[in-house]
Structure 1
């Protein structure tokens, strides 16, 4: 399930932690389509929904998913604690840091952190 919410005047599709895993590019396209259909500009996906391959950059899954979100001008938020993954991989830690500097993909540990980012972006 997912629900359309508004965070600081931004329509955001928030996905439940339970649901189909995001394990391939088609899964990302399904989220993009669902978000677009509901009028969202961002899709928030709990970290639990991502296949472990997403966090192993050598699989290229993260890059392919990020590219699709960028291609369709839809923002992506990975919501939840990724510290276990970033502690195990310098490359992933760098990837997360770069994403968080941008305007297309964010990693947010909590909904409160995400709300603060939207608030900062609005001002």
Structure 2
């Protein structure tokens, strides 16, 4: 069951590690509906909830998901270990680094790091 939290003035919906994988754009839209219902501004998703194709940028899934989130003005934090995906890709490390410079999409190691990002 997702947990709704308030962190540093930001309404955060934290998804459980166990749950429906996010493997399609429709799965991302379902996430948007759930987040909107909860009044969330940011959704924190365990890295393992995303299908491996999300981390394979050539699949286009990450781009489509990130575009949908941007269209609906919903922020995203992916938390957990994505090191194997980073090692397997030349483009993913660059994307993660670029996104982490912004404020709309972050890849963080855990919820404590997300809390620190939101506080600063």
SS of the residue 1:90 aligns to: coil
User: What is the DSSP-based 3-state SS (H/G/I as helix, E as strand, rest coil) of the residue aligned with 1:17?
Assistant: coil
Q: What's the counterpart of residue 43 of structure 1?
A: 43
Q: Extract structure 1 runs of 4+ deviating beyond 4 A.
A: none
5+ long unaligned stretches in structure 2: none
TM-score by length of 2: 0.97
- Counterpart check, 1:7 vs 2:43: no
Alignment of 1:1-123 (within 5 A): 1-120=1-120
Aligned CA-pair RMSD: 0.7
TM-score when normalising by structure 1: 0.95
Question: How many residues align structurally?
Answer: 120
